[in-house]
Structure 1
Amino acid sequence: MTALRLRAVLFDSGGVLMRPIGGRWNPRADFEATVLAHAPSVTPAELAAAVAAGDRFFESAISTPAQDDYHRLMLNHIGVTPTPGLLADLTRPVDPAAVLETFPDVLGTLQELRRRGVRMAVVSDAWADLPALHAGLGLGSFFEVYAISAELDCTKPDSRM
């Protein structure tokens, strides 16, 4: 019997390679603190309502929505004006390790696959900054290509992905 040689692997990102610290993908973990810095009178219940509105928006979307559209919807839902400064703060670059972590076995697995000559790519329902997030977590050099829903204007299982 001849052994099959694995030539390529397609990975999803969220829930496979990495996970959000605190358990929530969207909005980012610093959403509440950022909103409160701009609108200190917002209550915890209003912030929870904003997150719930954002969840419904994501669930009904046919592709990954633009981040500013997503944030505007949540802010408008609770009566907070989505000023350019607030929108910029909600998407400001942060160290990926502050909001994301890789699963314990990911780095070793990717290193072994690369050692074996296996080509690797990512197919993910994500925003366009996913390669930068992976780079910040030490994963970026493993992948030859990314298929990202925000760039392809569709989500899995659409065949374009």
Structure 2
Amino acid sequence: MLCPVCGEPLDLEGYEAGDLLDCEACGAVLRLLSDGTLEVVEGPEGGGEPLSGLRAYGEGEEVVLAFSQGALEEEVRLLKAELLEALRRLEEGVGEEAPKEAEDEPNLEPDYLTVHLESDQGPLVLRRILFAGAPDVLEFTLPSGALYQFPFREAVRRLRPILL
């Protein structure tokens, strides 16, 4: 079983339905449910603080992502399940465009994976930048054309509890 917050493997041996356990990787407090799934009881330390430039909150089956840069703020609304699936695909390395080897063709953009989603404003593009020696980055290209970048693992860790 994987932690629903950070995706790290958990050993559930000896736990019964209703028991609380801590994820050692991210610090989330989880409850084992009778159907064998895990419920997030309390997010990781500092989990309530927004990722700089990105706020997210759920509204029923939808999630609202609010991006900000200086005085500019933009919001997009999309289905929670679709965003969760997109993040899962990017984590597993399954995008709509296969990574390219930058070493094979100099001066090209870094390796990346892309997933396209439909928001209330139009197409939303999520791109995970995977370039050897560079930070692991998650890019959001909004329907307006605005581009926002965040550390991949941190963005996933902050968004996952809202999407579950």
Give the alignment's TM-score, normalised by structure 1. 0.27
More strand by share: 2
Give the alignment's TM-score, normalised by structure 2. 0.27
- Larger RCO: 1 or 2 (CA < 8 Å, sep 6+): 1
Structure showing greater Rg: 1
